[in-house]
Structure 1
Amino acid sequence: MNFLHQEFEAGPDDTVEVVLDGQANVMLLDPANFENYRNGRSFRYHGGLARYSPTRLVPPHQGRWHLAVDLGGQGGSVRAGVRVLRGMTATG
């Protein structure tokens, strides 16, 4: 499984901003769900198919988070930039 990955600490007062050069699945996962994702098991996440860039996600609670970006099994490649905007919740 090929995917891009970033790990960080964030909470509901923060916004995770992802800039993509094409469409991709953008998934915000807690550590347990990230481990399930990596091992091909059932998992839960926040996010989904990002058709537009930038994509912004707000973690539902404070903690350690993993952001995974993948093409959902499709061929090709994607580049992504990720930053956590501290104290800035997403609008719109």
Structure 2
Amino acid sequence: MSTNGFPYTHYDLNDQRSGSVIEITLTAVANVRLMTHANFDLFKNARKHKFLGGVAKKSPIRLSIPESGHWHVVVDMEGHPTKAESSIKLFPPPKPAPRPRFNQAS
């Protein structure tokens, strides 16, 4: 895909729960953007948008979903001379720790 004159790779994460973690593996330095569905629409139309992430100089990187909803990841090469291949893995939010049970004194 391409927008603003630079190519990008798009991953539609669909609905994700808060606390889910996305691990992005890259073969070169790239921009990684985690954004809501509304912000992805703005991005596609070359409009001002908000995202989590930025320039990824190490791989893999991990980003957490801050709130439940429809999310997207974009990997783009804007400002970088090489093309990066990418892949992602999704990890569900951690299960809450069990609450300790207290015995009653007799």
**TM-score, length-normalised on structure 1?**
0.88
1:2 is the counterpart of 2:4: no
Q: How many residues align?
A: 88
Identity %: 30
**TM-score, length-normalised on structure 2?**
0.77
Taking the aligned partners of 1:74 and 1:38, their CA distance within structure 2 comes to: 19
Report the counterpart of residue 34 of structure 1 in structure 2.
40
The higher-RCO structure (CA 8 Å, 6+ apart) is 1
Please list, as runs of the form range in 1=range in 2, the aligned pairs for 1:1-92 lying within 5 A after superposition: 1-8=6-13, 9-88=15-94
The structure with more radius of gyration: 2
What CA RMSD, in Å, does the superposition of the two structures yield over aligned residues? 1.2
Structure 2 alignment gaps of length 5 or more? 1-5, 95-106
Structure 1 alignment gaps of length 5 or more? none
**Alpha-carbon displacement from aligned partner over 1:43-86 (angstroms, at most 9, x marks no partner):** 00001100000010001101110000001144431100111111
